Structure 1
Amino acid sequence: MTLKWSDTSGIFPSAAPAMQQHPCYGAACRALGAEVLNLSFGRGTAPLATAQVVLRRWPLLGRFALVTRGPVWSEQFPPADRHTALHALVDQLAQRFTGVILTPDRDQGRDLLEGRGLLRMMSPFHLAEIDLTGPHSARRAALDQKWRNRLNRAEASGLQVKITRLPADPQHWLLRAEAAQSRQRRYSRLPPSFSVAWETATPGGTRLFSLYQAGRPIAGILVLLHAPTATYHIGWTGPEGRHVSAHNLLMWQAGCWLAERGYTGFDLGVLDTETTPGLARFKLGAGAKPVHLSSTWMRAPGTAMVARLGAAWSQHWGAVSPGPNGWPGRMS
């Protein structure tokens, strides 16, 4: 087998990819002016693996290749050969760009880059995902009791969930409200323009679930569609919405809407029980299960030596436990 990844276009993963490896994500990034590479391993229109690579230039450093939650492996690709193919991808990208940053999905419980001479930038973390393949009754029964009680109260309020596409308006009320919320709570996220770019690049690729009271919005969430799964992207709830447990109702209705249309999974994002324990409880209460991801790794000039020194330090002194967000912090 020739260990070579080829530049491709129009060849999509044969397996269900994560959002960052889906063609819709690449289209949104391109709409914002980013350069995106699509690589495949193997010949023909049904490759053994695909990788979507976003290129980013950092001042004084140069161009870096970012591979998030990839590659996507075909079931026909023997698991024993995947680590070799992944390292071939790292080698090829390192020849073309200043550095490579990867956060691959775990493969059969393994981090394929562990112990391979790359510099660990961030320790492994978890995502929260809801399985939408079961019947409605089973998904309702999987809710935490307190979470379900809040949902019952929200349903009894008589408020109706409005479901629409996100208008191509960067000043939409949900985008403005969530931007203000992120500044207040000091968390990072993709810019509002990304939401608009997703809908613009893939018309019909967003769904806005919102609640109104007396003609004013009191809560809303935005879901990005990338069949066969979807991702909770942003959300906001005002004081009136919190009073009626609006977010519980919106989350449940979004899951039902997706399941009715054949979506198999609903990604709720990072599950951080240390920094945001309340949010983590909310996601788990909604029926989500933890999904363990790999570390974030870097290959760039000088990082191999740092990685070797770090390995030697750990062997001599013992591994140092990272903070809740790893070191040097999550990249957004």
Structure 2
Amino acid sequence: MLHSPPLFSRPTPTVSRRASSPLLPLPQSPHYARACSLIGVDCRAGQQALPGGEVLHWQTQSRRMPLLGTVSLLSRGPVASSPVEAEGWLRERRGTGPLLLNADGLSADALRRAGFWPLLTPATLGLLAIGPEAQMRGALRQKWRNRLARAEDAGLTLRRMPLLAKHWLLAAEAAQARARRYRNLPPGMLVAFARANPGCALIWEAQQGRLPVAAIAVLRHGRMASWTTGVSTPRGRAVNAMNLLVWEAMRWLAAQGHELLDLGILNDADAPGVTQFKLGTGARSHRLGGTWLRTRSLAPLARHLPKGLAT
């Protein structure tokens, strides 16, 4: 096990801040592709040079789906500096099979013109800018900051360690997801990510005495990182352990050179407390573009959909 460094230490940054390096969401990252390869999921990626030295990036996964056959899934891509370039790539793409798109940064009108049919309404994510410690602490909402202060005085012991299949967090998260009826990255994918990307899948754990009371898992992928998993026991909630874990992860990731932490979906209807917790970090709400499907047969009809049916 790796013990966390003192709370206010500053490890040497390990992530390049080059402007040419794009902010790639987890499903668009080469780290994710390497994990998919380990579990037998085919991923294909490509880049396209754009004017001004910018690069458009895309990455798809192939899945077998009932009635549709082999479908390419493009999640939160293509990644480009402007929606115009992404829209142009979608219009010009010449794929032989169906394309399922979890859109990000693309308008409904543009997707309809590119021949996509709307399937699911957009979700909203919490995206947290990370950087200087004073700046991050200043962005915390007052209640969140107060709970963090109480957690810092609660005598908790923190440990940071590589994500391993045997850690109690993975089984506890799977049980929590079943009980609360939400979907998350399965433990097998987290373990595959850790195996394929050494040092990029980490767990922060809080203990009271020798008893674990809370833990989170974070995946690092380039300039971005994603908080994918978190469980707190009743004792952990009583001492606000989750606040301290997320804060320590924020500080450590910033010191490593990461710039953006994806906190996952905000769902007020099913988990208002979780949404408030995520936004309390100073994160902004980021609305995705919904789930869309393009097939050769549906594309002509999709281009003539009434605007009200394409949102």
Q: TM (normalized to structure 2)?
A: 0.85
**2:104 match:** 105
Shift of 1:305: 6.2
**1:292 match:** 287
2:92 paired with 1:88: yes
Kindly tell me: are residues 116 and 86 of structure 1, through their superposed partners in 2, closer, same or farther at Cα, counting changes over 3 Å? closer
2:190 paired with 1:191: no
Structure with the bigger RCO (C-alpha within 8 Å, sep 6+) is 2
Q: Deviations over 1:296-315 (max 9, x none)?
A: 21012543366467x34x6x
For 1:113, what is the secondary structure of its paired residue? helix
2:127 paired with 1:129: yes
2:45 paired with 1:38: yes
Quick check: 1:106–1:112 contact (8 Å CA) kept in 2? Answer: no
Q: Give the alignment partner of residue 19 of structure 1, picking from 15, 23, 26.
A: 26
Kindly tell me: are residues 215 and 111 of structure 1, through their superposed partners in 2, closer, same or farther at Cα, counting changes over 3 Å? farther
Query: What runs of 5+ residues in structure 1 fail to find an aligned partner?
Result: 1-12, 323-332
Query: What runs of 5+ residues in structure 2 fail to find an aligned partner?
Result: 1-19
Quote the Cα distance in structure 2 between the aligned partners of 1:80 and 1:127: 22
Quote the Cα distance in structure 2 between the aligned partners of 1:306 and 1:240: 55
Runs of 4+ in 1 over 6 A off after TM superposition: none
Q: Deviations over 1:162-219 (max 9, x none)?
A: 111112x2x4211011111111111112211011000100111111000122322111
Quote the Cα distance in structure 1 between the aligned partners of 2:150 and 2:127: 24
Kindly tell me: are residues 116 and 254 of structure 1, through their superposed partners in 2, closer, same or farther at Cα, counting changes over 3 Å? same
Kindly tell me: are residues 81 and 226 of structure 1, through their superposed partners in 2, closer, same or farther at Cα, counting changes over 3 Å? closer
Deviates more, 1:273-282 or 1:232-241: 273-282
The one-letter code of the counterpart of 1:276 is A
**1:160 match:** 157
**2:8 match:** none
Quote the Cα distance in structure 2 between the aligned partners of 1:49 and 1:127: 22
Quick check: 2:184–2:228 contact (8 Å CA) kept in 1? Answer: no
The one-letter code of the counterpart of 2:65 is W
Q: TM (normalized to structure 1)?
A: 0.80
For 1:87, what is the secondary structure of its paired residue? helix
Shift of 1:249: 0.8
**2:207 match:** 212
2:71 paired with 1:64: yes
Kindly tell me: are residues 35 and 321 of structure 1, through their superposed partners in 2, closer, same or farther at Cα, counting changes over 3 Å? closer
Quote the Cα distance in structure 2 between the aligned partners of 1:34 and 1:80: 30
Deviates more, 1:211-220 or 1:222-231: 211-220
For 2:71, what is the secondary structure of its paired residue? strand
The one-letter code of the counterpart of 1:100 is L
2:241 paired with 1:246: yes
Quote the Cα distance in structure 1 between the aligned partners of 2:284 and 2:86: 26
The one-letter code of the counterpart of 1:289 is R
Overall identity of the aligned pairs, in %: 37
The one-letter code of the counterpart of 2:161 is T
Deviates more, 1:290-299 or 1:24-33: 290-299
Q: Give the alignment partner of residue 269 of structure 2, picking from 251, 269, 274.
A: 274
Q: Give the alignment partner of residue 261 of structure 1, picking from 256, 280, 290.
A: 256
For 1:52, what is the secondary structure of its paired residue? strand
